[in-house]
Amino acid sequence: MSVRPLYQKTPSHLDRLDQKETVLSHNKVTGWSVNLPIAKTCQPSKVCINTCYFSKGGSSWPASLNKQVRVYNSIKGDPKATASRIARECEKNKATYLRWNGGGDLFDESIDCLMEVARILPELPIWVVTRIPAMAAKVPDAKNVFVHFSLDRHSMDRRDKALELRPLNRKFFFSYQGEKGETPPDDIWTKVSVVFWDCYKMKELPKWKKAGMETICPLNWRRFEGKDICGTCETCRRCFDNSASKHAHKVTGVPRAK
């Protein structure tokens, strides 16, 4: 008698979320998030593939992968209805912000869905992380929506591509992800608003100006000081309280949308 492997996708795994199933996921560092499947949505660079926390651990286990597909199908099938479910869950969990794309990336229906959540919960900051220029540029402007475009040394050309498309969102900024053994370039803080070392392991303090030091994500500082990184995003909030976007407009030359 053959046994069906746990990771095999059966038709039920390709369905939408059950009505009793939650849409949101939770991460001890980044908080509540909408997680989507990497395979269906991402355009990863070499560094992204090697450093992505979402491709390892619990989020890569069969049950998580299958849920991500069901979330994707639900958003594709009915963005507004799924947005209503997300909004209810945010209120139930008393979320103080929501990360969109804890894993995965944007697509048209996903943008429709997140903007509906932003409309329903206008006081809830929505932190949208992406690596796709064409999708990032489409995200409309709203007071509670922040667009975080992730770069690394192999994808810096996406910075120009994203800016050439004139992003609609006024709170648009870039981050830089270092790869293993890499020390981010000395001038990187003039191009991005948030800097991450590989696994947040900053080996020594960079000799940057004050404006540059402000771009170093606290996750790096905590690891450097040997502290626990749990809850860091909740206490920092740089990516969704206008700090990063203000740096983007004042220092890195990201123009404000008209």
Top-confidence residue, 43 or 32: 32
pLDDT for position 256: 76
Does this model's pTM top 0.85? My answer is yes
For the stretch 139-148, pLDDT in tens is 999 999 999 9
Domain segments of the chain as ranges: 23-252
Region 55-63: what's the mean pLDDT? 50
User: Which two structure tokens, joined as six digits, stand for 81?
Assistant: 């209805």
Indicate whether 37 pLDDT > 80: yes
- Cβ atoms of 253 and 50 within 8 Å: the answer is no
- Cβ atoms of 154 and 47 within 8 Å: the answer is yes
pLDDT for position 7: 38
Region 23-51: what's the mean pLDDT? 77
- Burial readout 4-43 (b: 16 or more C-beta within 10 A, e: otherwise): eeeeeeeeebeebbeeeeebbbebeebbbbbbbbbeebbe
For the stretch 151-166, pLDDT in tens is 999 999 999 999 999 9
What is the number of other CB atoms lying within 10 angstroms of the CB of residue 220?
A: 22
pLDDT for position 107: 96
For the stretch 214-245, pLDDT in tens is 999 999 999 999 999 999 999 999 999 999 99
